[in-house]
Amino acid sequence: MSAFLPRTLGGLAAAGLLVAGQTTAQQEPVELTMYYPVAVGGALTEVIDGLVADFEADHPDIAVEAIYAGNYDDTRVRAMSAVEAGDAPQLSVMFSIDLYELLEQDVIVAFDEVVESDEEREWLDSFYPALMENGTLDGKTYGIPFQRSTIVFYWNKEAFAAAGLDPDTPPETWEEMAEMGATIREAGEGDRWGVMVPSTGYPYWMFQAFAFQNGHRLMSEDGTEVYFNDPAAVEALEYWVSLAAEHDAMPDGAIEWGTLRQNFIEGATAMMWHSTGNLTAVKNEADFDFGVAMLPMKTQRGSPTGGGNFYLFKDATPEERRAAMTFIRWMTAPERAATWSIETGYMGVSPAAYETQALQEYVEEFPPAAVARDQLEHATAELATYQGGRVRRALDNAVQAALTGQMSPQEALDQAQAEADAALRRYAR
Q: Which residues bind other proteins (CB under 8 A)?
A: 33, 35, 38-43, 45-46, 65, 67-71, 73-74, 76-82, 84-87, 101, 104-105, 191, 193, 199-202, 251-263, 266, 268-269, 278, 281, 285, 387, 389-390, 393, 396-398, 400-401, 403-404, 406, 426
Cα first-last separation, the chain: 51
Residue closer to other proteins (CB basis): 145 or 201: 201
Distance of closest approach, residue 101 Cβ to other proteins, in angstroms: 7
Positive or negative, the Cα torsion across 261, 264, 269, 275? positive
269-275 vs 144-156, strand pairing mode: antiparallel
Distance of closest approach, residue 124 Cβ to other proteins, in angstroms: 27
Contact 153, 174 (CB under 8 A): no
395 vs 39: CA distance, rounded Å = 20
Residue closer to other proteins (CB basis): 33 or 134: 33
SS3 120: helix
Distance of closest approach, residue 53 Cβ to other proteins, in angstroms: 14
Residue closer to other proteins (CB basis): 261 or 322: 261
Q: Which DSSP category does 377 fall into?
A: G
Residue closer to other proteins (CB basis): 72 or 127: 72
Residue closer to other proteins (CB basis): 260 or 353: 260
Task: Count the Cβ atoms, other than its own, within 10 Å of residue 179.
Answer: 16
To 5 degrees, how large is the angle CA 92–CA 371–CA 361? 90
Residue closer to other proteins (CB basis): 68 or 227: 68
Amino acid, single-letter form, for residue 204? Y
Distance of closest approach, residue 256 Cβ to other proteins, in angstroms: 6
Distance of closest approach, residue 302 Cβ to other proteins, in angstroms: 23
Distance of closest approach, residue 189 Cβ to other proteins, in angstroms: 13
11 vs 18: CA distance, rounded Å = 10
